[in-house]
Amino acid sequence: MTADTDLPSWRDTSTRRAILDFVDAIAVGPEALPAAERVAVFDNDGTLWTEKPMPTQLHFIVQQWAAAARADPALAEKQPYRAALSGDLAWLGAAIDKHYAGDDSDLQVMIAAILGTTASVSVDDYQRTVAAFYRDAAHPVLNRPYSEVVYQPMVELLRLLEAHEFRCYIVSGGDRDFMRPMSTANYGIPPERVIGSAVGLSYDEASNDVRYGTTFGFLDDGPEKPARIWSRVGRRPVLAAGNSNGDVPMLRYVQAHPRSLSLLVHHDDDTGRGDQPYDKGTELALGAAAASGFTVVSVRDDWASVFPAG
């Protein structure tokens, strides 16, 4: 049985009770699902940790672009290098918002620049570079290490599910290999359970390395999420959590299971606790929530605290 002390950073609301009742129904008693069928999937940015004023990976990439533009002044005249060098977060953020609204024109410009930063780099070298970023970088507004801007209530939910023999996966539009170096330390999710967007890979026999290519493999967002879940997991999950329009197909995908829970995190906290309130990029998801049977998680009303205690 789940206990009254489970999910301590959640307020005693109908949302918390719905989660605890679901876990009890799935994992406890004679009608519990076999442990092998207890699969849960979580978006990352905006669901497991903060994504404003820009996703963490964009912070990392901006550093790479700015360095490239300083080394090659010709790049400084082109987007997204110009935005990175000048610190124009508005252009970068607008590109992400346009993607969520269905316009990928600026996103394609960004993807081309991303491919340029990793072409021919070995996966091991990239992992070391990303690990160094996580070690040294801080959130640009909160001035806390990225390990301290995870959402404490969601980490507690991961631990509750794990205690009841769920296998939890990250399913994100972010770069799979950017998330893997931090997934175990931040969430307790091993790298093999991280599903995300990916650049094409090839094996370099001469150096005995796997290296990144110059083409984008796939963007793990929207309808791609259910397809990637099936290809990597081989089961339909029973729980999904997301926060944006791109998560709607994943939230609906789990609902074909006879017993399921779809959680939609709503960033509505205007109380100054550090999580920036916003609806942009989530309008379709919020609009569909009631009719689709999504359980909306209010950051303001359902979470007693947002981040780990500093």
Residues 197 and 281 placed together within one structural domain of the fold = yes
Give the pLDDT band (50/70/90) at residue 76: confident
Residue identified by tokens 């170096």 is: 181
* Whether residues 186 and 229 fall in one domain: yes
- For 21-53, what is each residue's pLDDT tens digit? 999 999 998 889 999 999 999 999 999 999 998
Q: Using the structure block, give the residue that is written with the tokens 């990352």.
A: 44
Instruction: Read off the pLDDT of residues 80-120 as tens digits, 9 standing for 90 and up.
Output: 888 888 877 778 778 878 887 888 888 888 888 888 889 99
Question: Do 153 and 69 belong to one domain?
Answer: no
Q: How far apart, in whole angstroms, are the C-alpha atoms of residue 19 and residue 157?
A: 9
**263 closest CA partner among 293, 231, 233:** 293
Query: Which is nearest to 148 in space by CA: 290, 26, 307?
Result: 307
User: Number of folded domains in the chain?
Assistant: 2
Residue 303: its pLDDT value, please?
98
CATH of residue 259: 3.40.50.1000
Residue whose C-alpha is closest to residue 176's, from 139, 222, 228: 228
Burial environment of residue 18 by CB neighbours within 10 A (0 to 12, 13 to 18, 19 or more): middle
pLDDT tens-place string over residues 222-274: 999 999 999 999 999 999 999 999 999 999 999 999 999 999 999 999 999 99
Residue 258 inside a domain? The answer is: yes
| 60 and 118 housed in the same domain | yes
Q: For the chain, what is the mean pLDDT? A: 94
Its pTM stands at: 0.93
Lowest-pLDDT choice from 98-112, 126-140, 269-283: 98-112
Q: Residue 196: pLDDT band by 50, 70, 90 thresholds?
A: very high
Range(s) of the domain holding residue 203: 14-52+148-302
Are 155 and 274 in a shared domain? yes
Cis peptide before 249 (omega within 30 of 0): no
Query: Could you tell me if 69 and 160 lie in one domain?
Result: no
Same domain? For 95 and 200 the reply is no
